[in-house]
Amino acid sequence: MKTGLLWFDDDANKELEDKVMRAAAHYERKYGQAPTLCFVHPSALDGNGNGKGKGNGQSKCEMGGVEVRSGRTVLPNHFWLGVGEQGS
């Protein structure tokens, strides 16, 4: 990913998928194309963040056509979205 959008959402009442989809919709409005990749803090995927994670213990999953991966450099409640490069 060469260019991305950093999105913040700390709403404890929303599921992770809702947060990713909201961020993806904003990305698409802003850049004119849908994101294909989103990096989140590892706790968002392992369920230790706000209790609303996927809880599957994996480092990646897919939500609404967006591949969601954990990234140690992403802060909790932040979403780094963009278009993934081919072969990554």
pLDDT at 80 over 60: yes
Query: Which residues have C-beta within 8 Å of that of residue 13, sequence separation ≥ 6?
Result: none
Given pLDDT bands bounded at 50, 70 and 90, which one contains residue 3? confident
CB-CB neighbours of 24 under 10 Å: 22
Residues 25-69 pLDDT 10s: 999 999 999 999 999 999 999 864 544 445 455 688 999 999 999
Question: Do the bridges between strand 78-82 and strand 37-40 make them parallel or antiparallel, or are there none, so unpaired?
Answer: antiparallel
Cα 5 to Cα 35: distance, rounded to the nearest angstrom: 9
Residues 13-25 pLDDT 10s: 999 999 999 999 9
pTM above 0.95, yes or no: no
pLDDT of residue 78: 98
Which residues partner with 7 through β-bridges?
A: 79
Structure tokens at 50: 């706000």
